[in-house]
Structure 1
Amino acid sequence: MNVPWVAFMVPAPHDFAVWFQQDLIQQLYTNAQTHDDHPEDQVIDIIPGLPPIPFKDFHYQVFQRNPSSPVVQLISSMVRKLPQASAVVLNSYEELNPSLLTNYLKSKVQNLLYMPLALSMTASGTDATGCLPWLDQQKPTSVAYISFGTMETPGPDEFEALAEALEESGVPFLWSLKDKFKEYLPDGFIERIGMRGKVVPWVSQRQVLEHPSIGVHVTHSGYNSVLESILCGVPMICRSLWADNHLNAKMVEEVWGIGVRVENRVNTKSGMIKCLDLIFQQDKGKKIRQAAAALKQVSERAAGPDGVAAKHFETLLQIISEK
């Protein structure tokens, strides 16, 4: 049976490109270990279209040579097999990515297609925690929305530091925080902030990000969260946690220019106050907000009938029908 195999890739294009360089990254890191006490801080420039990247911004299992690692084995297997696929579909818009990066990926597979299937859906879900009416009462682009995803979370000290920063900054905020983590908040925090802030166990993130009162997304930099922020034109403060988070945060700050990273990947009171002040008060924050709005427009055009995604969908139909 001559059935086409089409691979739909969940990782970001920049993270996907790293896979094809895994062996070289491991080799370079091994060499760095012999000359440097802190090799993870060394910077390498091997991904076309991306700025130089320190080893610590890669997933640690990518740069540390460990052939028995399930992650390393899985990536190696996919890198060998993906060139055999009739097409590889990426969950992104081509227009959001550097052309050099796209050209590099095109050289690795037969048909590289950009079709953000998971992002085509409109916001949905119920507002069980009453976030939207509260947001309606806030000024445009004034609210910090905080969410660190579901896979990993910062430590207790970071929750406390973030709460103290929010309290001192005076910025209105909506914090999606599971009930089990509330014990890490300072005593009396929720009572003191009153109606200026809202702490809830869950939100419909796309609905929240689309609300005009949202001024920044304090995020773990998971790929889906970053993409949703881009589609909604919301700047980001990135506290990356693990896996692809660090590279996503680097893209946010250095490639797209639509956010900032917290210092040393740790939420501190002073560091978060500095980030909030930058986004909401400084000229650089205005430029970041303008860049986020411009990238939103790029994504809207990319999603339209004249965007690359529509053309790639036609290509996919042709690949399937010809087999």
Structure 2
Amino acid sequence: MSTSTERPHVAVFAFPFGTHAAPLLTLVQRLAVAEPNTIFSFFSTTQSNQKTFSRTKFGKNIKPYNVFDGVPEGHVFSGHPLEAVGLYLKETPNNYKKRLAEVVEDTGMEISCLLSDAFLWFSAKMAEEMGVPWVAFWTAGPTSILVHLYDMKKGKGELVDQSLNFLPGMSAIYFSDLPAELTGNLDEPFSHLLYKMGSMVPHAKAVVLNSYEELDPICVDDLQSKVQMLLNVGLFTLASPPPSYFDENGCISWLDKREASSVAYLSFGTILTPPPPELLALAEALEEKGVSFLWSLRDPTQHSLLEGFLERTSPLGKIVPWTPQIEVLKHPSVGVFVTHCGWNSVVESIAGGVPMICRPYFGDQKLNRRLITDVWQIGASVKGDIFTKKGMMGALDDVLSKKNGTKMRENIGVLKEKAMNAVGVNGRSTKNFKTLLKVVTGCEDAQ
């Protein structure tokens, strides 16, 4: 066993659900390239690590380690969407503590910093016990973490339609836009996790976001007053070249043959698929409007619902199980992004300069939708947050029209330009990243 303690050793704790682990790995890759002498040990569940590391190349100073996911051997899932999360949470933090101790023992390298998903609030105490800094990475935007630092329980019931105009920068946000867990029962494991996170985040040495200060300056100012150090280091897709993915489904070559700003790109993240009636409504709207489309539909069981539609629209559209989304959204042929409004998708759309049609489902998605449509004015909603043929046709008309669509594209162009400036040589995000590098590695001369 080696006893070398010369190289900084950063433990990275990922939350293994949704699209949490991937952006954390993106951040770690950037840190690892900037400081190749630092070792990054990346902890997540086996399934999460296999998925997160399978489509990307990572440096020799990054190594994944698996933690127990809490699923008993032979367990048969009931189909409840949060069942796996509940089983996992019953094992935390012991699964991380046990695996971390094994890694330290095997490598002979003590931990010098703990970088974790902000959801994993117990990291604060673990870092304190080890005498190292805790850096919390929030995978969404500044507005969504800020609401977790206020008491929102009073928003239940009769106040659901009230604006949050009593909070800085949130006059366009309503109680109904907030994640259900913020006003829910704290006995629920996930609600309890978010409650504890809200109380522990102010103790982090630094809070890191894939955002930039000019995107939401009022909320950023308020958030800075509530945490020790706030570091917006994004947008990730502009700050460093994205990994090169093999375009196995020929998406880019297909887009190359389409007219500028003519294609509707549809994707709802890694865990969401609209229910069958909404899928059919989407298909009917696209077909009647005659809009070219590229549709990322991961669930193969849903393809049979659209069989006739696929045959009739084959000259216009393409449905695939996976797309290189960053490259797709940068393509000049894409004119609108139909999305669930997850933060990664939102910032990738801003980086690509593509307006959005919003159909949020849970978490911070409704809040992001409100920012998109009412604050930044770079997209449209579907009526009632449900896809109908009529509603989708209206949204397509709105975004692809010369009047409203042009204005949306102008607005998102301004946001993209500000993002580009933020990650420039003298931009705020670039300066914040250099600060983060010093905090994480402990190297004062880190560049």
TM-score, normalising length from structure 2?
0.66
Q: Which has the higher helix share?
A: 1
| Residue of structure 1 aligned with 2:230, choices 112, 117, 122 | 112
Sequence identity percentage: 45
Look up the equivalent residue of 2:234 and give its one-letter code: P
Q: Give the match for residue 369 of structure 2.
A: 249
How far 1:203 sits from its partner (Å)?
A: 0.7
Look up the equivalent residue of 1:11 and give its one-letter code: A
| Residue of structure 2 aligned with 1:10, choices 131, 139, 145 | 139
Look up the equivalent residue of 2:264 and give its one-letter code: A
Q: More displaced, 108-117 or 157-166?
A: 108-117
Look up the equivalent residue of 1:210 and give its one-letter code: K
Could you tell me how far apart the structure 2 residues matched to 1:227 and 1:51 are?
Answer: 22
Look up the equivalent residue of 1:88 and give its one-letter code: V
Could you tell me how far apart the structure 1 residues matched to 2:437 and 2:254 are?
Answer: 45
Contact 1:176–1:201 (8 Å) recurs in 2: yes
How far 1:91 sits from its partner (Å)?
A: 1.8
Contact 2:201–2:207 (8 Å) recurs in 1: yes
Q: Give the match for residue 417 of structure 2.
A: 297
1:230 pairs with 2:362: no
Could you tell me how far apart the structure 2 residues matched to 1:13 and 1:189 are?
Answer: 40
1:126 pairs with 2:246: yes
How far 1:121 sits from its partner (Å)?
A: 4.1
Could you tell me how far apart the structure 1 residues matched to 2:181 and 2:348 are?
Answer: 27
Q: More displaced, 211-220 or 191-200?
A: 191-200
Look up the equivalent residue of 2:308 and give its one-letter code: G
Could you tell me how far apart the structure 2 residues matched to 1:300 and 1:73 are?
Answer: 37
Could you tell me how far apart the structure 1 residues matched to 2:385 and 2:135 are?
Answer: 37
Corresponding residue SS for 2:186: coil
How far 1:321 sits from its partner (Å)?
A: 4.2
Corresponding residue SS for 2:314: helix
Look up the equivalent residue of 1:246 and give its one-letter code: K
- Higher Cα Rg: structure 1 or 2? 2
Alignment of 1:184-263 (within 5 A): 184-185=305-306, 188-263=308-383
Could you tell me how far apart the structure 1 residues matched to 2:155 and 2:361 are?
Answer: 24
Could you tell me how far apart the structure 2 residues matched to 1:298 and 1:71 are?
Answer: 35
1:86-130 deviations in whole A, cap 9, x for unaligned? Answer: 211122111212x22111101111111111374334342111111
Could you tell me how far apart the structure 1 residues matched to 2:437 and 2:275 are?
Answer: 47
Q: More displaced, 160-169 or 42-51?
A: 42-51
Contact 1:161–1:268 (8 Å) recurs in 2: yes
Q: Give the match for residue 183 of structure 1.
A: 304
Q: Give the match for residue 60 of structure 2.
A: none
How far 1:5 sits from its partner (Å)?
A: 2.2
How far 1:56 sits from its partner (Å)?
A: 2.2
Contact 2:172–2:375 (8 Å) recurs in 1: no
| Residue of structure 2 aligned with 1:103, choices 221, 229, 242 | 221
| Structure 2 residues without counterparts, runs of 5 or longer | 1-129
How far 1:50 sits from its partner (Å)?
A: 2.2
Could you tell me how far apart the structure 1 residues matched to 2:167 and 2:281 are?
Answer: 35
1:26 pairs with 2:144: no
1:165 pairs with 2:319: no
Contact 1:278–1:285 (8 Å) recurs in 2: yes
| Residue of structure 2 aligned with 1:77, choices 169, 183, 196 | 196
Q: Give the match for residue 287 of structure 1.
A: 407
Q: State the number of aligned residues.
A: 310
Could you tell me how far apart the structure 2 residues matched to 1:128 and 1:313 are?
Answer: 33
Moved over 6 A (4+): none
| Residue of structure 2 aligned with 1:151, choices 271, 285, 288 | 271
Contact 1:83–1:108 (8 Å) recurs in 2: yes
Q: More displaced, 82-91 or 9-18?
A: 82-91
1:42-92 deviations in whole A, cap 9, x for unaligned? Answer: 43334311234232211112123x121222322222222222222111221
Q: Give the match for residue 84 of structure 2.
A: none
Could you tell me how far apart the structure 2 residues matched to 1:162 and 1:317 are?
Answer: 45
Q: Give the match for residue 186 of structure 2.
A: 67
With over 3 angstroms needed to count, the CA separation of the structure-2 counterparts of 1:117 and 1:215, relative to structure 1, is closer
TM-score, normalising length from structure 1?
0.90
| Residue of structure 2 aligned with 1:86, choices 196, 205, 210 | 205
Contact 1:127–1:204 (8 Å) recurs in 2: yes
With over 3 angstroms needed to count, the CA separation of the structure-2 counterparts of 1:96 and 1:44, relative to structure 1, is closer
Look up the equivalent residue of 2:346 and give its one-letter code: V
Contact 1:157–1:184 (8 Å) recurs in 2: no
Q: More displaced, 87-96 or 119-128?
A: 119-128
| Structure 1 residues without counterparts, runs of 5 or longer | none
Contact 1:44–1:52 (8 Å) recurs in 2: yes
Could you tell me how far apart the structure 1 residues matched to 2:412 and 2:172 are?
Answer: 23
RMSD of aligned residue pairs (Cα, Å): 1.8
Could you tell me how far apart the structure 2 residues matched to 1:281 and 1:83 are?
Answer: 45
Corresponding residue SS for 2:148: helix
Look up the equivalent residue of 2:195 and give its one-letter code: S
How far 1:230 sits from its partner (Å)?
A: 0.4
1:162-217 deviations in whole A, cap 9, x for unaligned? Answer: 000000011111111132211232x5211111211111111111111111100010
1:116-169 deviations in whole A, cap 9, x for unaligned? Answer: 374334342111111111111100111000011122222110000000000001
